[in-house]
Amino acid sequence: MKLAWRVTLLLALLGALGAGLWLAGRGTAPGRRDLDAVVTVGGDLVRDAIHPAIDLTRLGSAEEIRLGKAIDAEIRARMDVGAEDATSRYLQNVTDLVAGGVRRREIRYQVAVVRSPEINAFAVAGGYVYVTEGMLGFVQNEAELAAVIGHEVSHVDLLHCVERLQFEQAAGKVAPDLALLARLGYEVTLRGFSEEQELAADAAGALLAGQASYDPWQAEDFVARMLSRERPAKPSRNPVKEVTRAVPGALGRYLATHPPADQRMETIRRTLGARADLWKGRRRYIGRQNLADRATMLERPGASEWITRLEAPP
């Protein structure tokens, strides 16, 4: 059975690379060859090939929570996790507000701080969310923090965390053993999710923030600042050579990296444009001072921190 899966994956990948390479060769700019076409088509076909098995072996919520607890222990054994009580309590209060709009009510979301200057946040199965000290220093207000946490909560709520683990397991990378799955869960955390899942989490996270009475447009502002940190890669002029050299890493990036920031901004803007009922003409919270004081809007609802938008920002 395992051999059959490997053959299926190999055939799907080879076909995807051929289709992707043909698409990459049709770039509109002179000399432009977009490896993203290869990566996207290849990743989608491989996922489609094993998705029926993932659906048939979907973990129940109780199993997911048990697995998440084991992954959390693995993360705490490998990372410096913890913060002063005021920061931990503040983050948990914001998370509770944001998670009020989730679909899967049986999952209890718990947040922790990772002592790292890296600007990052991530989540694992079972409702465990982690925010780095670098991220806490990068967000400019409580609404931005709510959007970041909403993004990570959405990865759990939309089953991305569980699907990723099952994707790897179905591909024959690990046996269905709790300790091995916990270790795999840690490794998956380092690699991240697919572009499709990241964009879905962006959209859902902004909506969760808006439902919790935060200004959801702060999600776009946050990503816009991330855009300023991105450096465009030099385009390739030899697609065959680039595919040969880069496909192993590129497939990993398809499953691992966030989409380009401008694509994320477009997704957030389109999502909020379609859900104007969440913000248009409604008082929504920003919370600049709240972030600094580590006190949520429920504890200190400063009058100057509210905004009412009548139209989308330019």
Determine the pLDDT at residue 136: 96
Determine the pLDDT at residue 229: 73
Residue 176's pLDDT band, with cuts at 50, 70 and 90, is: low
pLDDT, tens digit, 9 for 90 and up, residues 6-20: 444 444 444 544 544
Average pLDDT over residues 250-257: 37
Q: Is residue 2's pLDDT more than 60?
A: no
Q: Is residue 50's pLDDT more than 70?
A: no
Residue 177's pLDDT band, with cuts at 50, 70 and 90, is: low
Average pLDDT over residues 128-132: 96
Determine the pLDDT at residue 67: 84
| CA–CA distance, 304 with 287 (Å, rounded to integer) | 9
Q: Is residue 127's pLDDT more than 80?
A: yes
Q: Is residue 94's pLDDT more than 50?
A: yes
Determine the pLDDT at residue 236: 45
pLDDT, tens digit, 9 for 90 and up, residues 183-202: 666 666 666 788 899 999 99
Strand 110-114's sheet: what is its strand order?
Answer: 110-114, 128-132, 121-124
Determine the pLDDT at residue 277: 96
**What pTM was estimated for this model as a whole?**
0.74
For 229-249, letters b (16+ CB in 10 Å) and e give eeeeeeebeebeebbeeebee
Residue 162's pLDDT band, with cuts at 50, 70 and 90, is: confident
Determine the pLDDT at residue 30: 38
**Lowest-pLDDT range of 60-64, 123-127, 207-211:** 60-64
pLDDT, tens digit, 9 for 90 and up, residues 212-246: 999 999 999 999 998 877 654 444 444 334 333 43
% of the chain beyond a pLDDT of 90: 50
